[in-house]
Amino acid sequence: MSTFDLNIEKILEHWTVADAIREIIANALDEQALTGTQDVEIFEDERGTWHVRDFGRGLSYEHLTQNESQEKLNSKKPIIGKFGVGLKDALATLHRHGVEISIRSPHGTITTSMRSKHGFESVHTLHAVITPPPGEELRGTDVALRGVTRETIDEAKQRFLRYSDETVLEATRYGQVLGRGSRGKARIYIHGVLVAEEDGLLFSYNITDLTAPMRKALNRERHNLGRSVYSDRVKQILLDCTSAEVANPLVEDLQRFKTGDQHDEVDWIDVAAHACKLLNAAEKVVFMTADQLSRYPDATDRARHDGYRIVVVSDKVASKIRDARDATGAPVRDLAVFEREWNESFELRFVAPEQLAPEERRIFEMHPDLFRAIGGRPRNVREVVVSETMRLEKGFEAAGLWQAQEKRIVIKRSELRDAARFAGTLLHEAAHARSGATDCTRDFEDELTRLLGLLGRACVSA
């Protein structure tokens, strides 16, 4: 038997037994990852002793001297521990809480005991007590823990993604976006080990590509890390996502800005804009602000009629996605883009007056009289023309169209079947021309009412 001074007196008083067992499990999982051996086993034997068992190369007392593991630092695999302080801290914590530990491997058995420091008899520190290897053949490392409960073991296991019920929604080069599990709070994992819990986040996250500040923070602490340590990486994970599984919940959350119960991710404008771009590439959507939704109900109706989903976003997000393009190179469809696409969707096949049937031409030639009845042709209307078609694709079909740039009113030929329909459509488009407003707005309704009044007066006076 020999002893090894761990140079520990009294540290990490905030660590619990579950924290210590977490480190033991982390070491076992790392060894499994490094050696490609079978899964780690965590079980209780018939004597009530709990075991954490891996099937790797076996722990030896030399591992208690490492400041950092070069093998783990160099590994490309998702290794949890890299700094060599966790195991010693775990031994000290377990000793302080009266938990007996025995670590068996092909290299020997390690237990702990408080003993006088060599050369300083009055100073007592925690020592590892090393005895020769057991007689039976043993693969890997078996850590036996006496004096712990099932609840404590479960608490320790719940600090690992492997033993949680979070599901992976999308994996990126920086880490994974996870669905929040049944525990209610969002969880932040680093290489699969829990470091923080939060109420304000929409998703849980597993960070696998660490920044320098994160490595420094993990040197001495593995839970309750402040958000400032990992928030930049969480943003990078989200900005690297491309799936609708992540974009849809973010955009749905975006629309809660008026009630104030949205999650923190969508307060990051870059993330909110990225989610809009992802959704734009995946679905037929039109992004509008609440003000646009109330001011332009006709555009809303047209969009919905054409199969678009209206997504209401804040003014800040709307400003961020203006003139933006999604991953496919298509413009992000805000109200301006939708109106432009709507106008471009019209394919007009003009019909000259002499090509109209006699009854159609008679009705069409009513338009000068109708204009006189409302005080004359609007000054910005250069001509009235007839088109066989309006929009060729399936969707909302207009009976008339005011084209401000061309200064013309276009009437669909089918409106010439009835004089009343033609008159109504012509006055409707004239109201657009005179007011410059879109359907269902106050300005348009006021102008249309005024024109109807003028027409009514003309009829009574005739």
pLDDT tens per residue across span 239-252: 999 998 998 899 88
Question: What's the start-to-end Cα distance of the chain, in Å?
Answer: 122
Residue finishing a domain among 239, 271, 296: 239
Burial of 376 (0-12, 13-18, 19+ CB in 10 A): exposed
Q: How much is the pLDDT for 124?
A: 65
Residue finishing a domain among 239, 267, 298: 239
Residues 10 and 148 in one domain: yes
Residues 250 and 227 in one domain: no
Q: How much is the pLDDT for 45?
A: 95
Query: What pTM does this model have?
Result: 0.70
Residues 148 and 178 in one domain: no
Q: How much is the pLDDT for 2?
A: 66
Strand partners, 42: 52
To the nearest whole percent, how much of the chain has pLDDT over 70? Answer: 86
Residues 127 and 192 in one domain: no
Q: Give the other-Cβ count within 10 Å of 63's Cβ.
A: 18
Domain of 326, in residue numbers: 244-335
**Mean pLDDT to the nearest integer, 143-152:** 96
Please, what is the Cα angle at 347 between 343 and 352, to 5 degrees?
120
Question: Measured between alpha carbons, how far is 368 from 366 in angstroms, rounded to an integer?
Answer: 6
**Residue 412 is part of a domain; what is its CATH number?**
3.30.2010.10
Residues 135 and 81 in one domain: yes
Q: Do the domain assignments include residue 137? A: yes
pLDDT tens across 209-243, in order? 887 777 776 655 555 677 878 899 999 999 999 99
C-beta separation of 404 from 380 below 8 A: yes
Q: Do the domain assignments include residue 261? A: yes
For 359-364, the CB contacts below 8 A with 24+ separation are 359/416, 360/413, 360/416, 360/417, 363/416, 363/418, 363/419, 363/422, 364/411, 364/416, 364/422
For 40-46, the CB contacts below 8 A with 24+ separation are 42/153, 42/157, 44/150, 44/153
Q: DSSP class of residue 39?
A: P
Q: How much is the pLDDT for 125?
A: 76
Residues 10 and 153 in one domain: yes
Residues 256 and 224 in one domain: no
Residues 134 and 264 in one domain: no
pLDDT tens across 386-402, in order? 999 886 555 566 888 88
- Higher pLDDT residue, 456 or 13? 456
pLDDT exceeds cutoff 60 at 316: yes
pLDDT band at 150 (very low <50, low <70, confident <90, very high): very high
Residue finishing a domain among 239, 270, 296: 239
User: What are 364's two structure tokens?
Assistant: 């069409």
C-beta separation of 384 from 408 below 8 A: yes
pLDDT band at 87 (very low <50, low <70, confident <90, very high): confident
Residues 233 and 253 in one domain: no
Residues 390 and 424 in one domain: yes
Q: Do the domain assignments include residue 342? A: no
pLDDT band at 407 (very low <50, low <70, confident <90, very high): very high
- Higher pLDDT residue, 230 or 74? 230
pLDDT tens across 286-309, in order? 999 999 998 888 889 889 988 999
Cα separations (Å) of 176 from 22, 170, 220, 279, 304? 21, 6, 24, 19, 35
| Domains held by the chain: number | 4
- Higher pLDDT residue, 79 or 32? 32
Please, what is the Cα angle at 144 between 221 and 133, to 5 degrees?
110
- Higher pLDDT residue, 347 or 79? 347
Q: How much is the pLDDT for 83?
A: 40
**Mean pLDDT to the nearest integer, 182-206:** 89
**Mean pLDDT to the nearest integer, 308-318:** 92
State the chain's mean pLDDT as an integer.
85
Residues 55 and 148 in one domain: yes
Tell me which of 3-12, 152-161, 182-191, 435-444 is least confident.
Answer: 3-12
pLDDT tens across 21-45, in order? 998 998 899 899 899 999 999 999 9
Q: How much is the pLDDT for 84?
A: 43
Q: Do the domain assignments include residue 345? A: no
Residues 180 and 91 in one domain: no
pLDDT band at 86 (very low <50, low <70, confident <90, very high): confident
What's the distance, CA 362 to chain centroid? Answer: 60
Q: How much is the pLDDT for 155?
A: 93
Q: DSSP class of residue 62?
A: G
pLDDT exceeds cutoff 60 at 7: no
Q: Nearest-CA neighbor of 23 among 132, 138, 103, 107? A: 103
Helix (H) or strand (E) holding 400: strand 400-403
Q: Do the domain assignments include residue 190? A: yes
